[in-house]
Amino acid sequence: MRKNIVAGNWKMNNDLAQTESLLTDLKKQTQTSIAEVMIAPAFTNLYPAFQALKSTNIEVIAQNMHFAENGAYTGEVSGSMLKSVGIETVILGHSERREYFNETDEILAKKVDAALAKGMRVVFCFGEVLEDRKSNNQEKIVENQIKNALFHLGPAAFQNIILAYEPVWAIGTGETASPEQAQDMHAFIRKTLATKYGADIAEEVSILYGGSVKPANAEEIFSKPDVDGGLIGGASLNADDFFAIVNAF
Ligand code: PGA
């Protein structure tokens, strides 16, 4: 059975003091759902967050990593470095990385390989921009993003891959994909996986939706059969809101 997962992407928010305060608030929350819960603080706060949450059910994950093991890559962080501070899961391919840091499908394929080689799990993000949606090209775009970065992998790799469909037009805009739009795309993603890897593997992969998920809309989005959880930006910065979403299953 595939898992329900709610992951909070803090992006470039929260200094150390703010991180500690949010971690304290998160530890006070009660989880009533069976979802796996993850949070992704900035690199500088990964280790304190890992230490603070290691006795809880909340996994601390990274927002990005480099594909190289080490070397002359000023400003970058490797999978080994993440693992050395307790991090076992990494978000890759977020649209902000693609847009502002020129991450291409080719780079992302290398990052995915590097993370999997380290035994890490990957939350792999993709999604179309508004023009693609307006021209009804969203399926082609998403299919290519998945194929280009993931379809060189063998079937076993998908045990460590979580997919996150994030339509770019819905990220941080307050405009959510309708539950039906999310379901249609998630079903398409699963069909795309099934065509290459077979139905059994496609059924096992968790597919998260991301883009303006809030306490008010989470339950309806999560009720869709192919939506297995959410990647939450803005609403993950408040512990009550985040846990309202965690408990929306
Ligand atoms: P949002 O961000 O929830 O603030 O729209 C989602 C994301 O970028 O992962």
185-212 pLDDT, tens digit each: 999 999 999 999 999 999 999 999 999 9
Measured from the CB, is residue 210 less than 6 Å from ligand 1? yes
132-184 pLDDT, tens digit each: 999 999 999 999 999 999 999 999 999 999 999 999 999 888 888 899 999 99
Measured from the CB, is residue 8 less than 6 Å from ligand 1? no
How far apart (Å, rounded) are the C-alpha atoms in residues 39 and 58? 7
How far apart (Å, rounded) are the C-alpha atoms in residues 36 and 217? 19
How far apart (Å, rounded) are the C-alpha atoms in residues 94 and 233? 11
Measured from the CB, is residue 119 less than 6 Å from ligand 1? no
Tell the residue nearest (CA) to atom 9 of ligand 1. Answer: 233
Closest alpha carbon to 89 in 112, 127, 120 = 120
Nearest 10 degrees: Cα torsion 173, 212, 192, 158: 130
User: Please, are residues 11 and 233 in contact by the beta-carbon 8 Å criterion?
Assistant: yes
Q: How far is the CA of 1 from the centre of ligand 1 (A)?
A: 26
Tokens of 67: 């594909």
Model's pTM, two decimal places?
0.97
The secondary structure of 103-166 as a DSSP string is --HHHHHHHHHHHHHTT-EEEEEE---HHHHHTT-HHHHHHHHHHHHHTTS-GGGGGGEEEEE-
Tokens of 236: 């993950």
Residue 39's DSSP bridge partners are 8, 60
Catalytic residues: 94, 166
